[in-house]
Chain A
Amino acid sequence: MYNSLTRIQNVFGFFTTVAFVVSAIIAASDFTAPRTPSASIKPTNVQVVKGRPHYYSSKKEEYAIIKFSLDADMSSLFTWNTKQLFVYVTAEWPSTPSGDGTNQTNKAVIWDSIITSPSSDHLANLGPATLKKLRKSAAGKSIDPSRGKLSLKNQRPKYQITHPSGKVANTEDVTLHVHYNVQPWVGMLTWNQDVDFALWKRMARGISNAFALPTVSAKKK
C-alpha cells in the first residue's frame, strides 16, 4: 500500500477473490430455487423409409421419422442464473437378443431446442427480425419463465434416426423421452434427474408409452 502500483495490485488481487466467492454463492443459490419440471409426450405419426446416409453412398439404410406431440412445463428451471435451457427428445429401445448384444439400449436424439433466458438473448442464433420479436416478448423482464412452457402438436423430428446395422423397421418397445440440460451463467451444467434431490424434483412423466416402428413404407425419401 506504499505507492500507487502496490495499491493497484492489492485492490485487484482482492477483487479477484471477491469475484470468485460471489460467483460460488450465485452457483450455490441455484439450490434455493425449486425445480418441478413436467412433460408429456406421445408419438403421433411414425414411418420408416429407405434412404442413403449421403448422396454418393451405395448403402441403403432404414430411417425412422417419428412425429410427436409434446406438452412440457419447464418454467421452474428459469432462474436468474439460467443462461439457456437445452431441451431434447430421444427415442430409446432395448437391443434385440439376436443382435450384436453390445448395446443394452439404443438411444437417439430426434428433436432438440435451445431456449434462451432474456439475459442471453444476444447469444441466440436467430435472424434480426426473430431476435427483435424475442426481445420484445420479454421487454423489461430479467427472467421469463413462460418460455419454459412448450406445446408442440404433431412436430416433425429434426433428425431421422437409424441404427448401425441400418435396420430399424419393426422395432418393438420404442419409447420417447424428454430430457433437459440447464446451462447456468455460473456453476455446473445440470441434466434431468432420475431421483429427487432436495428442492430439485425429477421430471414428472416425460416418457411416452411404448410403440413399435412400422414396416418400411413405400414412400420414397
Chain B
Amino acid sequence: MADQLLEQVRDVVDGQIDFQGQKLAEILATVLLSVVGAISFLVGFFLQDIALALKIGLGGTALTFLAIVPPWPFFNQHPVKWLPVGGSSISSSHQNIVIDEKMLVAR
C-alpha cells in the first residue's frame, strides 16, 4: 500500500510525458514566452508604463510555467506502443522475468 502510494507520488513529481508531448511542450514554451515578451514591450511602450510591462512579463512567464511544467493530459495523447517481448514464438512460461523479487509479467 505504502509502496503504491509512493510510486504514484513519484510519477506525479517526475511528470513524464510522451515524445509528441515533448515536441509540443518545446514549441509551446518558445511561442508563449516570445509572445509574452512582445506583448509586455508593446503595452509598456504605448502606455508608457514600465511597471505594467514588468508585471505582464512576469505574470505571463508564471502562466507559461503553469502550462508547461505539469504533465497535463494533452502532453500524453500518444503513448509509445511497445512490441511484445520476444515475439509470440516463445511460450508464456519463459516470459516471466524475476527482478528484485517482483514478478513482471509481459503482456
Contacts and interface: CB of A to CB of B under 8 A. Distances in A.
Interface of A: 1-4, 7-8, 10-11, 14-15, 18-19, 21-22, 25-26, 29, 79-81, 119, 142-143, 185
Given A3-B14, A80-B49, A119-B49, 10 more contacts: A2-B16, A3-B16, A3-B17, A4-B71, A11-B29, A11-B65, A18-B37, A22-B57, A26-B50, A142-B52
Given A4-B14, A80-B48, A80-B50, A10 B29 contact: yes
Contacts of A26: 41, 44-45, 50, 53
A11 B16 contact: no
Nearest to B35: A18
B3 interface: no
Contact of B47 (A79, A81, A142): A142
Contacts of B36: 18
A14 B30 contact: yes
Contact of B50 (A2, A19, A185): A185
Contacts of B22: 1-2
A11 B44 contact: no
A119 B50 contact: yes
A21 B44 contact: no
Contacts of A80: 44-45, 47-50, 53
A146 B53 CA distance: 23
Nearest to B65: A11
B34 interface: yes
